[in-house]
Amino acid sequence: MTLEVVVTRVSSKRSAIVFAKELKIIHTTYTCPQCERLTKVRNSRSEDGYEFYCKCCRKLYNARVGSFLEVFKLPLRKLLMMLYLYATDILTWKVAERECQIGMELYTKFRARLRDVKGFHMLAHSTQIGGFGHQVQIDETCYGSAKYFTGSMLEMPEVWVTGGVEVASNKCFMKVVENKLAPTINALIINNVLRGTCIVTDMAKCYDQVTKLGMQYTHYSVNHKGKRFKDPRSGACTNRIEGVWMLTKTRTKKERGTKRGTLDAVLEEYLWTHHNKKKEAFSALLDTLHFRYPPQ
Ligand SMILES: [Zn+2]
């Protein structure tokens, strides 16, 4: 779908409602949660032009009930526009302000809710990576250090993240870790990396016990200190995972640094994007919304 199509489809209040129904962002039918009977659709003077009415309970439900949009009071055409701009990575705060006349607070809420939806999706679709015959590069990185952020971004305390990438498929995992000690890292590896995987890391001490975890892992370590990023004997390197760090850091930088509490969510969002990169951006977002808010 192109921006042009979206602009046309949301040009009037009426057409925006038809469009939202077509995209299954709002429900076309609604079952009353109190009596479990199907409600009737009733035209109204409300913002969206109709409501659901339960004859039995004499209760009115807003057209957005049970949908992602339920908590937002903005006109539907603006919300649809924002969803499209968000999906295609155009939506920044400045764009939201200029194109949709949205304030910072609402913009933050909108993004945070979408991030939750993506996190929910990733949680349900998380898989372990690696396995016999597969190589997984594992590395740790620090967010919020002076090395990567300058100015206001220094406000964020140091947070360590450990992650891994399966070389053949590019599937990855990443998690915020409390510390870089072997027990923490070992538990993370066991939870995320399948038995028999060939694991490549740097020389950090926390990886010393990788082959002793009872998971039949093999282990190559690459010495970064000598500026030799490739092990001359095995050809093993950690370039792939370092590429992932670079991309996630660009993302957190774009969002003016990320508070510790939301870093996990940002990483999940990155993983979601990674997971969906072959899909058309808007339909990938719609699929994820439908997964969290099944259409009726
Ligand atoms: Zn009812």
Say how many Å lie between the CA of residue 63 and the centre of ligand 1: 15
Tokens of 208: 């010393």
Report the mean per-residue pLDDT for the chain.
86
Say how many Å lie between the CA of residue 56 and the centre of ligand 1: 5
> What was the pLDDT predicted at 150?
46
> Phi/psi of residue 200, each to 5°?
-115, 130
Q: Of 231, 278, 270, 225, nearest to 118 (Cα)?
A: 270
> What was the pLDDT predicted at 266?
76
Neighbours of ion ligand 1 (CB under 5 A): 32, 34-35, 54, 56-57
Say how many Å lie between the CA of residue 218 and the centre of ligand 1: 60
Res. 199: pLDDT tops 90: yes
Q: Give the range among 1-10, 52-61, 249-258 with minimum mean pLDDT.
A: 249-258
> In Å, how far from its chain's centre is CA 206?
28
Res. 63: pLDDT tops 80: yes
Query: Which class is 129-275 in CATH?
Result: alpha beta
Say how many Å lie between the CA of residue 38 and the centre of ligand 1: 8
Tokens of 202: 């740097």
Higher pLDDT, 197 or 46: 197
Say how many Å lie between the CA of residue 279 and the centre of ligand 1: 39
Asked if residues 241 and 140 have their Cβ atoms less than 8 Å apart, the reply is no
Say how many Å lie between the CA of residue 35 and the centre of ligand 1: 4
Give, rounded to a whole angstrom, the gap between the first and last alpha carbons of the chain: 23
Q: What's the pLDDT tens digit per position in 109-118?
A: 999 899 889 9
Res. 151: pLDDT tops 80: no
Say how many Å lie between the CA of residue 41 and the centre of ligand 1: 13
Say how many Å lie between the CA of residue 181 and the centre of ligand 1: 55
Say how many Å lie between the CA of residue 68 and the centre of ligand 1: 22
Instruction: State the pLDDT confidence band at 7, using cuts at 50, 70 and 90.
Output: very high
Q: Write b or e for each residue in 77-106: b if 16 or more Cβ atoms lie within 10 A of its Cβ, otherwise e.
A: bbbbbbbbbbbbeebeeeebeeebebeeeb
Mean pLDDT of 13-38: 92
> What was the pLDDT predicted at 126?
77
Say how many Å lie between the CA of residue 36 and the centre of ligand 1: 6
Q: In a 3-state reduction of DSSP, which class is residue 202?
A: strand
Say how many Å lie between the CA of residue 58 and the centre of ligand 1: 7
Q: Other CB atoms closer than 10 Å to residue 145's CB: what's the count?
A: 15
Q: Give the range among 23-37, 145-159, 277-291 with minimum mean pLDDT.
A: 145-159
Q: Give the range among 22-26, 52-56, 248-252, 284-288 with minimum mean pLDDT.
A: 248-252
Say how many Å lie between the CA of residue 42 and the centre of ligand 1: 15
Could you give the count of Cα atoms lying within 13 Å of 186 in the half-sphere of its Cβ?
Answer: 14
> What was the pLDDT predicted at 251?
67
Say how many Å lie between the CA of residue 79 and the centre of ligand 1: 29
Q: State how far the Cα of 8 lies from the Cα of 249, in Å rounded to an integer.
A: 36
Q: State how far the Cα of 263 lies from the Cα of 93, in Å rounded to an integer.
A: 19
Q: What's the pLDDT tens digit per position in 218-227?
A: 999 887 665 5
Res. 153: pLDDT tops 70: no
Q: What's the pLDDT tens digit per position in 88-143?
A: 989 888 999 998 898 899 998 999 899 889 988 887 887 899 999 999 999 998 87
Return the domain boundaries, the chain.
3-72, 129-275
Say how many Å lie between the CA of residue 47 and the centre of ligand 1: 23
Asked if residues 238 and 202 have their Cβ atoms less than 8 Å apart, the reply is yes
Residue count (the chain): 296
- pTM of this prediction exceeds 0.75: no
Q: State how far the Cα of 224 lies from the Cα of 75, in Å rounded to an integer.
A: 54
Give counts: helices (H), strands (E), the chain: 9, 10
- The percent of residues in the chain predicted with pLDDT above 70, rounded, is 88
